[in-house]
Amino acid sequence: MHTRERRRKISAAAIHESLLQGYLPPLLRTGDNAAVEQTPHPSAMTFREKLWNVIHNGKGQTGHAFNLLLIVLIILSIAILPLELIPTLSEYHGMLTILEIITTIAFTIEYILRIYAAPRRLRYIFSFYGFVDLFSILPFYFAFFGTQYIRALRLIRLVKIGEIEAAAAEEEDETMEHAVGLADNEQVEYIVTHHPLYLFFGCIPPVLACSAGLTVLLTFPYHPVSLSISGVLFFFALIFLWKAWLDFSYDVLYITSQRLISQNQHILGRSINQVNYHAITNVKPFYPSMVSYLLGYGSIVIETPSAAVGHIELSTVREHEKAAHIIMHKCFPPAQEKVEALGDGQRGQEGQ
pLDDT band for 163, please (50, 70, 90 cuts). Answer: confident
Q: What is the pLDDT of residue 206?
A: 94
Amino acid at 33: N
pLDDT band for 151, please (50, 70, 90 cuts). Answer: low
| Overall number of domains in the chain | 1
Q: What is the pLDDT of residue 221?
A: 84
Domain that holds residue 75: 45-164+195-248
Selection from 193, 215, 191, 211 nearest residue 203 by Cα: 211
User: Which of 95-104, 208-217, 299-308, 334-343 is modeled with the greatest confidence?
Assistant: 208-217
Q: How far are the Cα atoms of 27, 196, 197, 283, 293 from residue 321, in angstroms, in the given order?
A: 20, 17, 17, 10, 11
pLDDT band for 241, please (50, 70, 90 cuts). Answer: very high
Would residue 181 count as lying in a domain?
A: no
Q: Using DSSP, state whether 183 is helix, strand or coil.
A: coil
Q: What is the pLDDT of residue 143?
A: 66
Q: Where are the beta strands (DSSP E) in 291-339?
A: 297-303, 311-318
Would residue 74 count as lying in a domain?
A: yes
Would residue 320 count as lying in a domain?
A: no
Would residue 55 count as lying in a domain?
A: yes
Q: What is the mean pLDDT of the chain?
A: 78
More confident residue, 266 or 148: 266
Apex 328 CA angle, 323 and 334, nearest 5: 130
Tell me the helix, strand and coil percentages in the chain, rounded to 5.
Answer: 60, 15, 25
Residue 91 carries which DSSP code?
Answer: G
Q: What is the pLDDT of residue 229?
A: 93
Would residue 101 count as lying in a domain?
A: yes
Q: What is the pLDDT of residue 57?
A: 80
More confident residue, 31 or 115: 115
Nearest-angstrom CA–CA distance, 349 and 49: 51
Would residue 88 count as lying in a domain?
A: yes
User: Per-residue pLDDT averaged across 180-198, rounded?
Assistant: 85
